[in-house]
Amino acid sequence: MKVLVIGGGGREHAIVWKLSQSRRVDKIYCCPGNAGIAELAECVDIKPDDAGALLNLVRYEWIDLAIVGPEGPLAAGIADAFRKDGRKIFGPGAQGARLEGSKAFSKDFMRRYGIPTAGYRVFSSYIHAEEYVRLKGAPIVVKADGLAAGKGVFVAETVDEACEALRLIMKERAFGDAGEKVVVEDCVAGEEASFMAFTDGQTLVPMVSSQDHKRLMDGDTGPNTGGMGAYSPAPVLSEEVERAVMEKVMRPFLRGIRSEQMDFRGVIYAGLMIRPDGSPMVLEFNCRFGDPETQAVLARLDSDFFEIILAASEGKLGHLTAPVSWSRDASVCVVLASGGYPGGYEKGRIIRGLDKVKEMKDVVVFHAATGFAGNDVVTDGGRVLGVTATAADVRAARQRAYEAVEKITFEGMHYRKDIASRAVNRPACR
């Protein structure tokens, strides 16, 4: 069968990589892809949000299934357009994608269906938002309502920091139309974790746990980014906590999308805060695979990835011939970023050392933002590579990943040196 993967980042490279291992997949297309994806798939220069051109490609090439990586096309309704044309696609329709596309909508959804989340207020007026922040005090969280590539969330330790975030979002419009409204919510203490699951709207199949590292610098300092690394499993998501997540978050989520008749055939991602007593609270919902969590999670998947995706897209996830199987090994992904990210950065820097890493066992380098300059692979964005290793436990996987990182160089390369360090001295979940 022929499969199209829409997107061109590290998440999409991991998806293509896993699909390539399926006996049922004959050919993979990727739009637009990148230098790493080009080794496994035919890359076609079509933008992920050009639904018309993507549909034409599917028709012309007789592609059997499409998988959407990034959130933007989902929020714009690409899945609805494909299904209207009778095409199979993995990803929720526009109504379901609002759970990520609008934080205000998502928080209201959680409240309607009793999903635990922090207290919040929604504002379209800067003056009213600032008044509320000054009355409420800090610490407090300020979020742009719309899509902001993972960078529109500010955890403010002081009132001045919160007001500065409001100015950046609502007055300076740093995130464009995403800042027309803001969500101001209570700051919740605990440990963050990522919980992803496959769903067809009726059945939900959880993936193994993972934990992202959002901040740019070691020690969880610096600005928020799209993610500087991830590992799996996340010890904070013990079996007991996972049962609580299923009972208090995932089952109400399924009840909600059924009640509101959302066509949700894709991935539901719950960004969680696990409080000291072990109870989960939802910080956000995403409607697609996380990035870089996907790199760490798919590295542990033993089952045929294509079979799962196809079943979900057809509404038959409950009819898989065998339970989804995961490796007991752990995985760690370290993101290598361009100097200056998440602010301004330069592109076109030659990447060296990739061939050396290819010789390493149980290590894969997922390309997030790369291109070609002649015969050289060069940087083409902020997050450039995701160096991912698997081993018997997190400690060994972390050591292996950083051994691989040391073999790679490009001008201005920046990465965190503490990815997964929190988990090293804690027992793995499973």
Give pLDDT tens digits for 138-161.
Answer: 999 999 999 987 778 999 999 999
Instruction: Measure the CA–CA gap between 336 and 156, rounded to whole angstroms.
Output: 26
Which string of DSSP letters, residue by residue, matches 224-255?
A: E-S-SEEEES-TTS-HHHHHHHIIIIIHHHHH
Mean pLDDT for all residues in the chain: 95
Please name which of 135, 136, 170 lies closest in space to residue 152, comparing C-alpha atoms.
170
Written in H, E and C, the secondary structure of 21-42 is: CCCCCCEEEEEECCCCHHHCCE
Tell me how crowded residue 422 is: count the other CB atoms within 10 A of its CB: 17
125-180 under CATH 3.30.1490.20, yes or no? yes
Instruction: Measure the CA–CA gap between 98 and 9, rounded to whole angstroms.
Output: 22
Q: Predicted confidence band at 426 (pLDDT cuts at 50, 70, 90)?
A: low
Spatial neighbors of 146 by CB under 8 A, at least 6 apart, are: 101, 102, 103, 152, 175, 176, 177, 178, 179, 180, 181
Which string of DSSP letters, residue by residue, matches 274-317?
A: E-TTS-EEEEEEESS--TTHHHHHHTTB-S-HHHHHHHHHTT-G
292 phi/psi in degrees, rounded to 5: -105, 15
- For the segment 409-430, the average pLDDT, to the nearest whole number, is 80
pTM given for the model? 0.94
Q: Predicted confidence band at 427 (pLDDT cuts at 50, 70, 90)?
A: very low
Q: Which residue has the tokens 């020690």?
A: 219
Radius of gyration of the chain (CA): 21
Q: Which of 249-253, 270-274, 319-323, 426-430 has the lowest mean pLDDT?
A: 426-430
**pLDDT value for 425:** 59
2-90 under CATH 3.40.50.20, yes or no? yes
Report whether pLDDT(429) > 60: no
191-424 under CATH 3.30.470.20, yes or no? yes
Tell me how crowded residue 336 is: count the other CB atoms within 10 A of its CB: 23
Type of residue at 131: E
Helix or strand (DSSP H, E) at 424: helix 421-424
**pLDDT value for 176:** 93
Q: Which of 119-123, 125-129, 425-429 has the lowest mean pLDDT?
A: 425-429
Q: Count H helices, E strands: the chain?
A: 15, 22
Q: Higher confidence at residue 86 or residue 426?
A: 86
Type of residue at 13: H
Tell me how crowded residue 357 is: count the other CB atoms within 10 A of its CB: 19
Q: Higher confidence at residue 89 or residue 150?
A: 89
Please name which of 384, 61, 66, 100 lies closest in space to residue 228, comparing C-alpha atoms.
384
**pLDDT value for 430:** 34
Percent share of the chain, pLDDT over 70: 99
The structural domains of the chain, with segments of one domain joined by +, span: 2-90, 125-180, 191-424
Helix or strand (DSSP H, E) at 122: strand 120-123
pLDDT in tens, 22-72: 999 999 999 999 999 999 999 999 999 999 999 999 999 999 999 999 999
C-alpha dihedral over 295, 299, 301, 302, to 10 degrees? 160
- For the segment 158-173, the average pLDDT, to the nearest whole number, is 95
pLDDT in tens, 334-354: 999 999 999 999 999 999 999
Report whether pLDDT(401) > 70: yes
**pLDDT value for 394:** 96
Q: Predicted confidence band at 321 (pLDDT cuts at 50, 70, 90)?
A: confident
- For the segment 246-262, the average pLDDT, to the nearest whole number, is 97
Which string of DSSP letters, residue by residue, matches 314-382?
A: TT-GGG-SS---B-SSEEEEEEEE-TTTTS-----PBPB-HHHHHTSTTEEEEESSEEEETTEEEE-SS
- For the segment 373-394, the average pLDDT, to the nearest whole number, is 97
Contact 344, 242 (CB under 8 A): no
Report whether pLDDT(170) > 90: yes
